[in-house]
Copies of this chain bind each other. A is one copy, B any other.
Amino acid sequence: MQLMSSEAPDFRLEDFLPYRLSVAANRVSRRFADRYGAAFGLSIPEWRVMAVLGRFGRLPAREIAARTAMDKVKVSRAVRQLQARGFLERAADAADARLHWLALSKAGQGVHAAIVPMAREMEAEVVQGLTTEELAVLNVALGRIAERFPGEGVD
């Protein structure tokens, strides 16, 4: 005699991997967004744009989208915002009038320089309590999962 009509054992949401993954990721993202919002007035999309431009120098919006796992609409809006704040410079491509190269301005580079150490701190905080091996496995697992579940502009 059991309450559940099903033959299957109870379904425990708290043990359900997609749920656990979602909760962990969203908590980290929330904290992350709070910190960057407070410190620099940057949203996560804006932060990602700055991050990839800091690394690659100049990219067209399409490339930013590909490298930040965001769709082009989100990139477009983040770029507009960053431009309004003077963190970005935009230059038309000589050969292809559809393309616009985006790069950090001087001011943007300054912000980028401040942003990166804070990111490393946050990462350290996430990683605390994990051994090196656990961290390695976590990274492998996340990579496999992301591969198995492709998506255009996700997040």
Contact = CB atoms under 8 A, between A and B. Distances in A.
Name which of A18, A67, A68 has the most chain B CB atoms within 10 A of its CB: A18
A25 B25 contact: yes
Interface of A: 3-6, 8, 10-14, 16-32, 48, 51-52, 54-55, 57, 67-69, 109, 113, 116-117, 119-120, 122-123, 125-130, 133-135, 137-146, 148-151, 154-155
A65 to B, nearest CB: 13
B21 A119 contact: no
- Secondary structure type dominating chain A contacts: helix
A137 B17 CA distance: 12
Nearest to A32: B18
Contact of A117 (B8, B21, B48, B122): B8
Contacts of A17: 123, 126-127, 138-139
